[in-house]
Amino acid sequence: HIQSAYSSDIIIVHMDGKKDLLYPNLKSIVQNIDLENQRVDIILPDGLYEIYR
């Protein structure tokens, strides 16, 4: 799911039994989008994933 924000789009990843993971759709974070295999490769800033655990 992608939500538009003022400075950039926000990508929302729904994870069963966990909080949704939100991150900005920036080239520095999103490394590759593979629509055929429904895969997005990302590099999150330090500490961002831990916020959602």
What residues make up the domain containing 19? 2-51
Q: What is the pLDDT of residue 12?
A: 85
pLDDT, tens only, 1-53: 666 666 778 888 887 888 888 888 889 999 998 989 988 899 988 888 788 76
Q: What is the pLDDT of residue 5?
A: 63
Q: What is the pLDDT of residue 37?
A: 93
Q: What is the pLDDT of residue 45?
A: 86
- Residues 11 and 3: their CA atoms lie apart, in Å, by 6
* Count of domains observed in the chain: 1
- Residues 42 and 32: their CA atoms lie apart, in Å, by 7
Beta carbons of 29 and 43 less than 8 angstroms apart:
yes
Q: What is the pLDDT of residue 49?
A: 79
- Residues 16 and 35: their CA atoms lie apart, in Å, by 21
Q: What is the pLDDT of residue 41?
A: 93
